[in-house]
Amino acid sequence: MATETALARAKVNLCLHVTGQRADGYHLLDSLVVFAEAGDVVTVRASEALTLAVTGPRAAGLTDAGDNLCLRAARAFGGGRGAAITLEKHLPVASGIGGGSADAAATLTALVRLWGCALPPADEVLRLGADVPVCLQGRPARMRGVGEVIDPLPALPPAWLVLVNPGVAVPTPAVFRGLTQRANAPLPAVLPAFPDAAALAGFLHRTRNDLAPPAEALAPVIATARQALAAQGGCLLARMSGSGATCFGLFATEAAAQAAASALSRAEPGWWVQAAAMAR
């Protein structure tokens, strides 16, 4: 029986500038997005009916499987086609690393291969979520607008990420409501070259995540996680991703990243900690 599998890589906002707000309430962003070589796994199998099974260590975090983004992604194709979808959940839910959006993108990718069809129209993909288009591309990119303007980045230097979620969920709408300024400066029009991880980190230190202050006000443990990452040997940058609560540390080597992940896991056994290469 025909089966296709796709990895829903964790999405990481290396920086995120909120540059404005549209009349319809959607915020305008300017963000550098990369992906970790870790995430959920979506498997689709030929079937007459459209079904979803959720497995994996984070399956319990999904409370409304009937409206799961995997099913919504499958319905975006139209035509009432069937498939048995299995989502193996590893990423924390509602954690600022695009878990649901990455799952939707992986479902779209797997179903295109299974059904031998084209992707749904771009507006349908965007309607699934602002991060779905960039997750569908799955490579380093600059994301602007409400998520629909995506410019691929040149190949980035080898680097590793340590992802840390301190076990809290912060509602994205509440984080945006906490912004005191919505018309902030964007990233430079032309980005510099990044010959190595240190150069990338040096540039990122001159950027921001504008959502971090309101998120940390809602959940101060986010700042605790960020500071714990920053204290690890070899950490070039520690920052919150997206609207939180996951933070990331940028490392030049696998050895430093794995050592940091081990140390954090020992110090905070209740936190979710994952070291992974940064997809290039």
Residues taking part in catalysis: 11, 131
Assigned token pair, 223:
């700042």
Backbone φ and ψ for 83, nearest 5 degrees, come out as -165, 145
The answer to whether 73 touches 128, Cβ cutoff 8 Å, is yes
Tokens of 34: 């990369």
Question: How far is CA 133 from each of CA 72, 127, 168, 223, rounded to the nearest angstrom?
Answer: 14, 10, 26, 29
270 contacts 167 by C-beta, under 8 angstroms: yes
What is the end-to-end Cα distance of the chain in Å, rounded?
33
Task: Return the residue matching tokens 């954690």.
Answer: 95
Q: Which amino acid is it at 48?
A: E
Structure letter (DSSP) for residue 147: T
